[in-house]
Amino acid sequence: MLRIREIRVTRSQSLRTFNLVIEKSRRMIENVNGKWSKCLPYVFMTLAALSRWPGLFPPNFSAFYALAFCAGAFFPSNIKWWLPMATLVLTDVALDFYYHSWSSTQLFNYAAFAGILWFGTRFNPRGSFLGLLSGGILGAVFFYLITTQPPGFLTHS
Res 8 pLDDT > 80:
no
User: pLDDT tens digits for 87-122?
Assistant: 999 998 988 888 888 777 788 888 888 998 999 999
Distance CA 121, CA 43 (A): 20
Res 146 pLDDT > 90:
no
Sequence spans of domains, the chain:
45-154
Which residues are CB-contacts of 38 (< 8 A; sequence separation ≥ 6)?
Answer: 76
According to the model, what pLDDT value does residue 150 have?
A: 59
Select from 106, 110, 45 the least CA-distant residue to 71. Answer: 45
Residue 4: which pLDDT band, with cuts at 50, 70 and 90?
low
Residue 18: which pLDDT band, with cuts at 50, 70 and 90?
very low
**CA triplet 131, 133, 138: central angle to 5 degrees?**
95
According to the model, what pLDDT value does residue 40 have?
A: 86
Which residues are CB-contacts of 105 (< 8 A; sequence separation ≥ 6)?
Answer: 147, 150, 154
Secondary-structure breakdown of the chain: helix, strand, coil percentages, each rounded to the nearest 5? 70, 0, 30
How many H helices and E strands in the chain?
5, 0
What DSSP state is assigned to residue 122?
T
User: pLDDT tens digits for 24-49?
Assistant: 555 555 554 566 667 888 988 888 88
